[in-house]
A = this chain, B = another copy of it.
Amino acid sequence: MNVTGVVVEYNPFHNGHKLHINETKQITDADLIVAIMSGNFLQRGEPALISKWARTKMALNQGVDIVLELPYVYATQHAELFANGAISILNGFGANSVCFGSESGDIKDFHRLIKFINENETTYRESIRDALKKGVSYPKALSFAFKKLKNHNQVLDLSLPNNILGYQYVKAIYEQKANIKPFTIKRKEAQYHDKEIPKQSIASATSIRKKLVKEQDHLNSINHVVPSTTYDELVQYRKMYHNFQDWERLFPYLKYKVLTSSPIALANIYEAEEGLENRLSQTINEATSFQSLMEKIKTKRYTWTRLQRFCLHTLTNSTKEEMSAINDTTPYIRVLGMNQKGRKYINNQKKYLELPLISTISKINHPFINIEKRATSCYSLGYSPIIQAKLIKEEYAHPPVII
Within A218-260, which residues are at the interface with B (CB < 8 Å)?
252-253, 255-257, 259-260
Alpha-carbon gap, A201 to B216, bound state (A): 51
Contact with B along A274-287 (1 / 0, CB 8 A): 00000000000110
Alpha-carbon gap, A386 to B288, bound state (A): 7
Alpha-carbon gap, A227 to B218, bound state (A): 52
Q: Which listed residue, B285, B381, B386, touches A252 by the CB 8 Å rule?
A: B381
Whether A261 touches B317, Cβ cut-off 8 Å, given contacts A253-B256, A256-B378, A285-B392, is yes
Alpha-carbon gap, A378 to B257, bound state (A): 10
Is A160 positioned at the interface, with any CB of B under 8 Å from its CB?
Answer: no
Alpha-carbon gap, A256 to B316, bound state (A): 9
Alpha-carbon gap, A392 to B253, bound state (A): 17
Note all chain B residues with C-beta closer than 8 A to A285: 388-389, 392
Is A359 positioned at the interface, with any CB of B under 8 Å from its CB?
Answer: no
Is A360 positioned at the interface, with any CB of B under 8 Å from its CB?
Answer: no
Alpha-carbon gap, A12 to B380, bound state (A): 36
Contact, CB under 8 Å: B288 / A256:
no
Note all chain B residues with C-beta closer than 8 A to A317: 260-261
Is A207 positioned at the interface, with any CB of B under 8 Å from its CB?
Answer: no
- Give, as a whole number of angstroms, the nearest-CB distance from A313 to chain B: 11
Q: Which listed residue, B253, B259, B261, touches A378 by the CB 8 Å rule?
A: B259
Is A44 positioned at the interface, with any CB of B under 8 Å from its CB?
Answer: no
Whether A260 touches B374, Cβ cut-off 8 Å, given contacts A252-B252, A255-B381, is yes
Contact with B along A365-396 (1 / 0, CB 8 A): 00000000010011001000110110010000
Note all chain B residues with C-beta closer than 8 A to A388: 285
Contact, CB under 8 Å: A260 / B377:
yes
Is A339 positioned at the interface, with any CB of B under 8 Å from its CB?
Answer: no
The chain B residue sitting closest to A375, CB to CB, is: B260
Note all chain B residues with C-beta closer than 8 A to A88: none
Contact, CB under 8 Å: B259 / A385:
no
- Give, as a whole number of angstroms, the nearest-CB distance from A265 to chain B: 9
Alpha-carbon gap, A162 to B260, bound state (A): 34
The chain B residue sitting closest to A381, CB to CB, is: B256
- Give, as a whole number of angstroms, the nearest-CB distance from A312 to chain B: 12
Alpha-carbon gap, A315 to B261, bound state (A): 11
The chain B residue sitting closest to A252, CB to CB, is: B381
Binding site for B on A (CB under 8 A): 252-253, 255-257, 259-261, 285-286, 288-289, 315-317, 374, 377-378, 381, 385-386, 388-389, 392
Please name 28 pairs of A and B residues whose Cβ atoms are closer than 8 Å in the assembled complex, sorted by A. A252-B252, A252-B253, A252-B381, A253-B253, A253-B256, A255-B381, A256-B256, A256-B257, A256-B377, A256-B378, A256-B381, A257-B260, A259-B377, A259-B378, A259-B381, A260-B315, A260-B316, A260-B317, A260-B377, A260-B378, A261-B317, A285-B388, A285-B389, A285-B392, A286-B389, A288-B385, A288-B386, A288-B389
